[in-house]
Structure 1
Amino acid sequence: MSQRIQEDFRNSCLQDVFNMIRYVALEPNIVNATVVHALALKVGCFADLRAATSLLTVYSRTGYFGSSMALFDEVRDKDTIFWNAIMSAYIENKCFEVALDLFVKMIGEGIEFDPTTLVIFISALSNGRRLVQGKLIHGLSIKAGMLSDTFLSNAVIDMYAKCGHLSSSKFLFAEMEHRDIVSWNSIISGCLYNNHYEKSLWYLKEMNCRENQADGVTISCAIAACTCLQEFGVGLAVHGWGIKLGCVESHHIAVANSLISFYSQFKDINTAECLFEEMEVKNVVSWNAMIKGFALNGGLQEAFNLLRDMQFVRSVEPDIATIVTLLPICSELMLLREGKSVHGFIIRRVMGSELSVVNCLMDMYFKCNNVEKSEYLFWTVPKEDLVTYNTMISGYAQNGRSWEAQNLFKKLLSWCSTCTLPTLLAILPSCDSPESLEFGRSIHGWHQKLGFLNDILASNSLIYMYIYCGDLLSASTLLCRISVRADVTSWNVVITGCTQNGHFWEALEFFNFMRQKSHVGYDSITLVSVVSACGNLELALQGKLIHGLALKTPAVIDIRVQNSLLTMYGRFGDTESARLIFYHGHNHNLCSWNCLISAFAQNEDAKKALELFRVIDFEPNDITISTVLSACTQLGILRYGKQIHGHVFRFDFNKNPYVSAALLDMYSNCGRLDVALRVFHSSPEKSVSAWNSLISAYGFHNNTQRAIETFHEMIDSGISPTNSTFVNLLSVCSHSGLVDEGCWSIGKAP
């Protein structure tokens, strides 16, 4: 407005009305807008373009865009600024195509555009990530000789950065003769947007050396860069610099939001919470940052409490970002109940039509093993995108529904012929058995066809697939092919995959090859796998050597490495070494206690196992109870077994099939077959382990006929026998001299 030649009003009445219009424009309100509109018409100042422009802007900002368009059509003699105002209104209301058409119409009517016009369009193209059109506007500004305008140059720098063309932003910035604070902020934020965090801080340093005064935007971007780089010390220095410049005051909301995220990322949730509480004015980003901070630091209850408090703040409403912050936490921690409550909130707030929200919900239900709910969301979503399909394919694959995943993948190919890398990564876990090897090879072909084999993540996933399909040769060949660029994850994929699939010798061979031929060092995940392989092969010497390797690295303090060493020494029968590792360890979790209790129980030191259980620092889980019941079975003392049975009811483990099987074994070995039978019949889910335990119990009590009948009942109930079933049955037959029945059992064995 300041660009127009100021003219005196004919009388004070017109001046008063115009002042009122300008006042309403500061805080747009539809009621006030209509009142001043009527006054302008009444006193006849509506013909003044300043008044008309202000009213047009007010209507647009209050959400009554139709009134802005009607007002534009009513005015006959339009100047450049009035055209700029209506085009800004269209862009504010996300009508980018119409705004571009208006620009063409404006030029066609002979109205000259100015730098502000180009700034408006460059900003719109930045938001739409339209690089081609942005280059055209850039060329137009050069041709019109307007690029010397600092505002326009800043907008072009921002456009190139947001369109992912950072090199052009850097070049244009270097060519600028006059730079203001917005110029520096544009290049700093542009580097941050394109994940060039070090370069962002470099420009910050250059700006400081040239004695340019930083502002809130500068400090906010610098804090965000430090968060991404995990530079806590630099972040503290920037925080101090912001305090010195007065940019950490309550009115600098963006700085406070960045600081909340920064301290949350570095586990200093108390400082983040203090910053949040000190903010006099909070926007939705502030609330979302604090909710995410609590969730990242294990304060899930506090995050949900904050969501509840957020709903009582009139100036702020939870948005989609709030939802997509909470749902992934529910997914990762498998919190189905909390996830359902968020789903209910989404329905109440009518956010269910947002595709990003639906995709997050589907992922949450899949990770909480509720496949049916994810399927319902998929089939009822109005319009799916590639992310929706990727989520479904990955969810099916991760939940053991390989057939459904592969069928959906084929359906996707008929809809979208070009696969993306996330799609191929989603389908690969469905190839988890030798039967899926051919399908996995076809996916490998897709990787080659689309040129994804240079991506290390794609190669690692393919190696993992070949190992799970039992094709170690292809996995080894692919690893050798990428050995130059293979990272520690590549080697871990091979070693861990071999260990998890029972190829223990191969896992150790790959580990030796990694140490001898590779430039990559091993980490805690590598050590966990090779220690497990040594334990399963009962290679005591090699296990101790790997323990020595672990002692030379910081990985030895990793709790996962300590737990794997406990399990390994337990399998060696070296309970003393296991005990020393446990008591010299830096920290323990429930798994640590379970590993040591199991080590004692496996090596027939049941008393020490029970003594450990009495002093355990954690609430026991089903693994703890099953292991301790095994110790009670060894001792044959019913009193201890009954006490553990009390723990089963106390912690609600009586529905767990493995705990029920362990209870059945304990009561049977302690001479109480009647109680063992009651445990079996009261178990809601009768697993193959429970049936095996019952057959063994009848054999232990010399009731051979009943053991054989139980085997027949097991078959009739649809439970497939395992190797342990036939071992128990053969043991019963051999003790009773039932040769024919034993031969029949051998004939039934797989």
Structure 2
Amino acid sequence: MKLLGRLQRCGLRIQKSRLHWRSFFTDTTFEQQLKTLDMDRTIASVHSISSNPCFSLLGLCKTIGCLKKIHGLLIVHGLTDDLLCQTKFVSLYGFFGDIKCARSVFDQIREPDLYSWKVMIRWYFLNDSYPELLRLYTRMRQCLKENDNVVFSVVLKACSELHELDEGRKLHCQIVKVGNPDSFVLTGLVDMYAKCGEIGCSRAVFEEISDRNVVSWTSMIVGYVQNDCPQEALVLFNRMRQGMIDANQVTMGSLLTACTKLGALYQGKWVHGFIIKEGIIMNPFLVSALLNMYVKCGMISDARATFDELPMVDLVSWTTMIVGYTQRNLLDEALKLFTDKKWASLLPNSVTVASILSACGQSGNSNLGRSVHGIGIKLGLEDGPVRNGLIDMYAKCHMIRDAHYIFQTVSDKDVIAWNSMITGYSQNGSAYEALILFHQMRLDFITPDAVTVVGILSACACMGALHLGCSLHAYAIKEGFLLSNVRLGTALLNFYAKCGDAGSARKVFDGMEEKNTVTWSAMMGGYGMHGDASESLALFSEMLNENMEPNEVIFTSILSACSHTGMVGEGWRYFDSMCQEYQVVPSMKHYVCMVDLLARAGRIEEALAFIEAMPVQPDASVFGALLHGCRLHSRLDLGELGVKNMLELQPDSAGYYVLISNFYASDGRWNKVNEVRELMKHKGLSKSPGCSLLEMDNGNRFSALRVASLP
């Protein structure tokens, strides 16, 4: 140190190499190094920036603050015009993540060479700043005629990520013009065309690659999978094996995804065996693809067996298994896996939380749902899927106020958030609120999708809002929602049926290209509501002719139709067929339908015998059906039995108290009516007032005429 100072004070020229300066500065702190230098004398004594000790310090900078101090010193002494110096600063600013400063320094370079351009392009690429990268490359083309394969590869990646097909085509022309592209550039073209949806062009470029490696083959396979050509991906893999090319993890993960899309369980199992045979290490991507393949192919037990055999379970595999259980409606298994202490060390991410919230909502587990809500807040997981999952969970757990509160706290509501809230209102009997929210959604310029239309049609069906429902029908046709959306078609025919237009419902039904059991059930139920049981039964026969297996929902619709039309013999026949021929275990809804069928027909004793023979404990709805029949046929003696059981099973249901009150009123037993109403007051129960809804302004407004309940 003293020797250096003496040399400087004597005005001697310092010709030390950068290596010397680096070794000199290594043993002291950065601040001490700056203080040691007599900047004016030292900088004045150097011939070039490369011999400047400050420039030597750049390689020792540990923070961006240190870098900026050196940069400032060089600016003060006018030593930043050197191309090497400026490019070095571009590189270092990029290294410290300050792309803005890197670009600012780059823009000050008067005549950047190819290396300088590549440095700036590289930092845009590494920071996923693809739009800026393309703009910079356009400027480079204007300033520089040189190009190389590294630049081409990086710019092609930007075109791929941005799906900039036009820019990609222009770049392809430049590559052909320059000539001699290497395999990396050609593989980049394969990837770019595939991600832009031009799978034919992608395959054409692939065939031009003479020295294909695993990356080239994998890019083409991935392209086929991404463009919904899974069969071609499997065929290409066979050709790859014939060329003795070893597959990697991305290759196998893509093949598993192809098997998933095809529902090809056998091929998926073969790929799994190939992975084990070749000793390919299972990374998170591959594990996720494997578990997802088994789940989507309906082999959830195989997925769980694979999961349990993993040497180490990570967040990705744990979440994939939870999502799989939820998608297969195995809600208890999903919740059990989430709450198992064995995985307590794994912190859930947004996907995990959103999936568990869905499971909680579908199973009605509001307590766990609230706990998951708290976990999400604690971990800072409050993105769109989580917030939408919270709205959906609270709505399905009949906590509509909590759902509305979450909805109100979302500042940037997307269409999924609106759909969750609208559907929540519809499912909780708040049809009017659903329509009000839909109106607000349109005022906020949110474009409704098919899910929105389904939710609003449900509300329209409850309110009899025929004009609005017809408008939604027209909107769905215009947007092409009805082409392959079974759920929307079912909601539409259900809407027409509940609004009394069975003819329009049948037209929608006949126009649907694809139908599921819910669709058939909705149409049968629609005929049943209109007292046309013969059409319901004819439709049931038509369904059987199309080799569709009836389920419990179908039989509920059929039994209900028989009940509404007094077809006791047919009702018994279908009930016996359900139990014996189709092995469907009767649910409480089926028992209610049968009791209602018998009681409506005046066969009260037979209905009572049916209740006594039930293999399960009847609930209040069964006795409610019995009581309704007793009132219709003035069988007040047996009606008392229904009253007794209803009060024991559902002591807090206002609807059942009203039914009991009407039962006594039909016999003129007003003292009993008063007793029931006093009991309701004592329990704090009240019947919601009925209302009639009038469509006004062509369905844009509704007027509710409420009928006050009797005291």
TM-score bucket (shorter structure): 0.5 to 0.7
Aligned CA distance change for structure 1 residues 273 and 416 (closer, same or farther; 3 Å) = same
Post-superposition shift, 1:380? 4.0
Q: Which amino acid aligns with 1:14?
A: N
Could you list the per-position Cα deviations for residues 516-575 of structure 1 after superposition, in whole angstroms to 9, with x for gaps in the alignment? 9xx8988555444333322323346765776687688xxx43323xxxxxxxxxxxxxxx
Could you list the per-position Cα deviations for residues 445-488 of structure 1 after superposition, in whole angstroms to 9, with x for gaps in the alignment? 32021011344433433333333344445544443333435444
Which residue is 2:599 aligned to? 467
Which residue is 1:451 aligned to? 583
Give the alignment partner of residue 292 of structure 1, picking from 417, 423, 426. Answer: 423
1:399 aligns with 2:399: no
Give the alignment partner of residue 225 of structure 2, picking from 84, 91, 112. Answer: 91
Post-superposition shift, 1:16? 1.0
Determine the C-alpha separation between the residues in 1 that align with 2:424 and 2:272.
40
Q: Which amino acid aligns with 1:369?
A: G
**Residues 350 and 385 in structure 2, CA contact (< 8 A), matched pair in contact too:** yes
Aligned CA distance change for structure 1 residues 204 and 247 (closer, same or farther; 3 Å) = same
Matched residue SS, 2:567: helix
The within-5 A match list for 1:644-723 is none
Which residue is 1:62 aligned to? 196
Which residue is 1:557 aligned to? 684
Determine the C-alpha separation between the residues in 1 that align with 2:657 and 2:371.
38
Which residue is 1:638 aligned to? none
Aligned CA distance change for structure 1 residues 148 and 502 (closer, same or farther; 3 Å) = farther
Post-superposition shift, 1:68? 2.8
Which residue is 2:500 aligned to? 369
Matched residue SS, 1:432: helix
Determine the C-alpha separation between the residues in 1 that align with 2:245 and 2:588.
55
Determine the C-alpha separation between the residues in 1 that align with 2:218 and 2:243.
14
Determine the C-alpha separation between the residues in 2 that align with 1:475 and 1:111.
73
Give the alignment partner of residue 174 of structure 1, picking from 308, 313, 323. Answer: 308
Could you list the per-position Cα deviations for residues 641-690 of structure 1 after superposition, in whole angstroms to 9, with x for gaps in the alignment? xxxxxxxxxxxxxxxxxxxxxxxxxxxxxxxxxxxxxxxxxxxxxxxxxx
**Residues 424 and 447 in structure 1, CA contact (< 8 A), matched pair in contact too:** yes
**Residues 159 and 165 in structure 2, CA contact (< 8 A), matched pair in contact too:** no
Determine the C-alpha separation between the residues in 1 that align with 2:548 and 2:335.
42
Which residue is 1:409 aligned to? 540
Determine the C-alpha separation between the residues in 1 that align with 2:613 and 2:180.
78
Aligned CA distance change for structure 1 residues 433 and 305 (closer, same or farther; 3 Å) = closer
Post-superposition shift, 1:363? 1.3
Which residue is 2:167 aligned to? 32
Give the alignment's TM-score, normalised by structure 1.
Answer: 0.64
Determine the C-alpha separation between the residues in 2 that align with 1:85 and 1:163.
25
Determine the C-alpha separation between the residues in 1 that align with 2:535 and 2:256.
46
**Residues 147 and 153 in structure 1, CA contact (< 8 A), matched pair in contact too:** no
Matched residue SS, 1:484: coil
Q: Which amino acid aligns with 1:177?
A: P
Give the alignment partner of residue 449 of structure 2, picking from 313, 319, 331. Answer: 319
Determine the C-alpha separation between the residues in 2 that align with 1:383 and 1:234.
37
The within-5 A match list for 1:337-376 is 337-356=467-486, 357-376=488-507
Matched residue SS, 1:431: helix
Post-superposition shift, 1:368? 1.0
Determine the C-alpha separation between the residues in 1 that align with 2:553 and 2:642.
28
Post-superposition shift, 1:42? 2.7
Determine the C-alpha separation between the residues in 2 that align with 1:486 and 1:143.
57
Post-superposition shift, 1:366? 1.0
Determine the C-alpha separation between the residues in 2 that align with 1:237 and 1:434.
48
Post-superposition shift, 1:271? 2.8
Determine the C-alpha separation between the residues in 2 that align with 1:527 and 1:438.
32
Which residue is 1:271 aligned to? 405
Which residue is 1:119 aligned to? 253
Give the alignment's TM-score, normalised by structure 2.
Answer: 0.67
Which residue is 1:480 aligned to? 612
Determine the C-alpha separation between the residues in 1 that align with 2:236 and 2:300.
29
Post-superposition shift, 1:365? 0.9
Aligned CA distance change for structure 1 residues 191 and 36 (closer, same or farther; 3 Å) = same
**Residues 369 and 399 in structure 1, CA contact (< 8 A), matched pair in contact too:** yes
Which residue is 2:326 aligned to? 192
Matched residue SS, 2:313: coil
Q: Which amino acid aligns with 1:364?
A: F
Aligned CA distance change for structure 1 residues 480 and 285 (closer, same or farther; 3 Å) = same
**Residues 431 and 469 in structure 1, CA contact (< 8 A), matched pair in contact too:** no
Determine the C-alpha separation between the residues in 1 that align with 2:313 and 2:642.
57
Aligned CA distance change for structure 1 residues 403 and 270 (closer, same or farther; 3 Å) = closer
Q: Which amino acid aligns with 2:195?
A: R
**Residues 355 and 384 in structure 1, CA contact (< 8 A), matched pair in contact too:** no
Determine the C-alpha separation between the residues in 2 that align with 1:452 and 1:334.
34
Post-superposition shift, 1:513? 6.2
Runs (5+) with no aligned partner, structure 1: 3-10, 561-587, 592-617, 628-750
**Residues 14 and 43 in structure 1, CA contact (< 8 A), matched pair in contact too:** no
Matched residue SS, 1:400: coil
Give the alignment partner of residue 589 of structure 1, picking from 676, 681, 689. Answer: 689
Which residue is 1:335 aligned to? 465
Which residue is 1:20 aligned to? 155
Aligned length: 548
Determine the C-alpha separation between the residues in 2 that align with 1:341 and 1:28.
36
1:530 aligns with 2:660: yes
**Residues 551 and 584 in structure 2, CA contact (< 8 A), matched pair in contact too:** no
Post-superposition shift, 1:384? 5.1
Q: Which amino acid aligns with 2:164?
A: N
Which residue is 2:77 aligned to? none
Which residue is 1:429 aligned to? 560
Determine the C-alpha separation between the residues in 2 that align with 1:409 and 1:472.
28
Which residue is 2:549 aligned to? 418
RMSD over aligned CA atoms reads 3.9
Could you list the per-position Cα deviations for residues 204-228 of structure 1 after superposition, in whole angstroms to 9, with x for gaps in the alignment? 4457974333322233234334444
Identity, in percent, stands at 22
Matched residue SS, 2:312: coil
Aligned CA distance change for structure 1 residues 374 and 549 (closer, same or farther; 3 Å) = same
**Residues 115 and 146 in structure 1, CA contact (< 8 A), matched pair in contact too:** yes
Q: Which amino acid aligns with 1:323?
A: V
**Residues 307 and 317 in structure 2, CA contact (< 8 A), matched pair in contact too:** yes
Determine the C-alpha separation between the residues in 1 that align with 2:637 and 2:265.
54
Post-superposition shift, 1:39? 2.5
Aligned CA distance change for structure 1 residues 127 and 466 (closer, same or farther; 3 Å) = farther
Post-superposition shift, 1:20? 0.4
Determine the C-alpha separation between the residues in 2 that align with 1:128 and 1:478.
48
Determine the C-alpha separation between the residues in 1 that align with 2:494 and 2:592.
23
Q: Which amino acid aligns with 1:300?
A: A
